[in-house]
């Protein structure tokens, strides 16, 4: 099983969850360090060294699930020039859970999402 932290449209109940749900074995809440930025229809996460936190879910998926997420997130491999996101290894703030997360390469020009939750941001802005 492969653990992936998701924080946006791949969350259970969100618009792209169907991409990963056939390959998902388990989901549980999680929190990692970082900041969210608003890309419009989806968020982008940037890892930070400060104590700001992002709320999301840990999904346990098969290798096929990771491949499906890589395709959705336009991740072509470590350091590939066409990557929209990089896939990096992270640990949960509250427990020993660890796994992959998709991080935006650069937040330049994107508005920061106030708070720590894409779902809360989307709901409060009627998105």
Hey, what are 27's tokens? 């989901």
Residue 123 forms part of a structural domain: no
Is position 28 annotated as part of the catalytic site?
no
Is 125 within the bounds of a domain? no
Domain of residue 30: give its range: 2-118
* Across 1-10, 48-57, 76-85, 105-114, least confident range: 105-114
Q: Which pLDDT score is estimated for 100?
A: 98
pLDDT tens for 15-26 read: 999 999 999 999
**Do 2 and 65 meet the contact criterion of CB atoms below 8 Å apart?**
yes
Q: Is pLDDT of 4 > 90?
A: yes
Question: Residue 122 has what pLDDT?
Answer: 81
Distance in angstroms (rounded) separating the CA atoms of residues 106 and 111: 12
The answer as to whether 32 is a domain residue is: yes
Picking from 49, 56, 28, the residue whose alpha carbon sits closest to that of residue 116 is 56
Instruction: Give the number of domains in the chain.
Output: 1
Q: Residues 51-77: pLDDT tens digits?
A: 899 999 999 999 999 999 999 999 999
d(CA 2, CA 105): 22
User: In the block, which residue shows the tokens 């395709």?
Assistant: 71
Exactly one of 57, 63, 73, 98 is catalytic; name it. Answer: 73
The whole-model pTM stands at 0.93
Q: What is the pLDDT of residues 92-120, one digit of tens each?
A: 999 999 999 999 987 788 899 988 999 88
Q: Nearest 5°: phi and psi at 113? A: -80, 125
User: Which CATH number is 71's domain given?
Assistant: 3.10.490.10
């Amino acid at each position: 099983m492969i653990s992936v932290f998701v924080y946006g449209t791949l969350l259970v109940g969100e618009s792209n969850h169907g991409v990963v749900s056939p390959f998902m074995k388990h989901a549980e809440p999680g929190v990692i360090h970082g900041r969210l930025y608003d890309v419009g229809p989806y968020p982008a996460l940037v890892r930070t060294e400060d104590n700001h936190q992002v709320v999301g879910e840990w999904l346990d998926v098969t290798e096929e699930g990771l491949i499906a997420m890589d395709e959705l997130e336009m991740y072509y491999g470590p350091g590939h020039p066409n990557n929209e996101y990089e896939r990096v290894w992270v640990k949960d703030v509250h427990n020993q859970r660890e796994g992959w997360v998709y991080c935006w390469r650069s937040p330049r020009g994107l508005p920061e999402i106030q708070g720590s939750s894409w779902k809360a941001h989307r709901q409060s802005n009627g998105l």
